[in-house]
Amino acid sequence: MHRVHHKDLTTLLEVTRPGSVLLLDPDPELLPQLNVSAGCRVTCLNDEPLATLPKLGCFDLGIIANTLEYLERKDAGVLLARLRDVHTRRFVVLVPLGTDWENHRSHWQTTDLLSYGMTVMARYREADKPLHLYHYAIESYKMTPDWFNNRHWAHPERWRP
């Protein structure tokens, strides 16, 4: 299981101070001591995420590691979409990139994850293979363009009753 992302996760937890965390990892004990604030609810989900997720509600932060690559591509896509649209306000996903990884059911490229609205948070190498940490937050997903502001298109002084 991959551990190279622990430092970045610790920093993210310190900065965001989530009130609730959803952790999807088949081996959550491998994560460093979660540096969460007092009263933060941490829910670990390691089996059947698609079946269990609808019962859990919404979380401030989702952490997904060592999971996507072991799901069928379609199921992994559904999981990402549900996390993004319903179950988390923000989440991070650790994903091995490329087809060089053995025993994976699905293989991912950067463009696959960017298409879900994620951004690259960190890049790592493990066994000389790429491993990236992606981040999604609704606040930074799409900024409203300035031209869409009503001061550019709504000119009531030009209309006569």
CATH number of the domain residue 70 falls in: 3.40.50.150
Residue 64: name the closest of 91, 38, 84, 85 by CA: 91
CB of 89 within 8 A of CB of 138? yes
Task: Give the per-residue pLDDT at 104.
Answer: 87
What is the distance between the alpha carbons of residues 4 and 56, in angstroms, rounded to a whole number? 28
Higher pLDDT, 71 or 28: 71
For residue 105, pLDDT over 80 is answered with yes
On whether residue 124 sits in a domain, the answer given is yes
Nearest CA among 161, 156, 2 for reference residue 92: 2
Q: Within a domain: residue 122? A: yes
In degrees rounded to 5, what are phi and psi of residue 22? -105, 120
- Band (154; pLDDT cuts 50, 70, 90): low
Residue 33 within any structural domain of the chain: yes
Within a domain: 109: yes
DSSP state of 108: B
Is residue 65 domain-resident? yes
Question: CB burial class (10 A; 0-12, 13-18, 19+) of residue 76?
Answer: buried
Domains of the chain: total: 1
Domain coverage including residue 154? 6-158
* φ, ψ at 138 (rounded to 5°): -60, -35
Tell whether 1 is covered by a domain. no
In sequence order, what are the residues at sequence separation of 6 or more whose Cβ sits closer than 8 angstroms to the Cβ of residue 66? 1, 2, 25, 26, 27, 94
Query: Sign of torsion, CA 56 61 67 71?
Result: positive
Q: Is 93 inside any structural domain?
A: yes
Phi, then psi, of 157 in degrees rounded to 5: -65, -15
Question: How many CA atoms within 13 Å lie on the side-chain side of 8?
Answer: 18
Residue 51 pLDDT exceeds 80: yes
- Of 57-66, 132-141, 143-152, the one with minimum mean pLDDT is 143-152
What mean pLDDT value characterizes the chain? 84
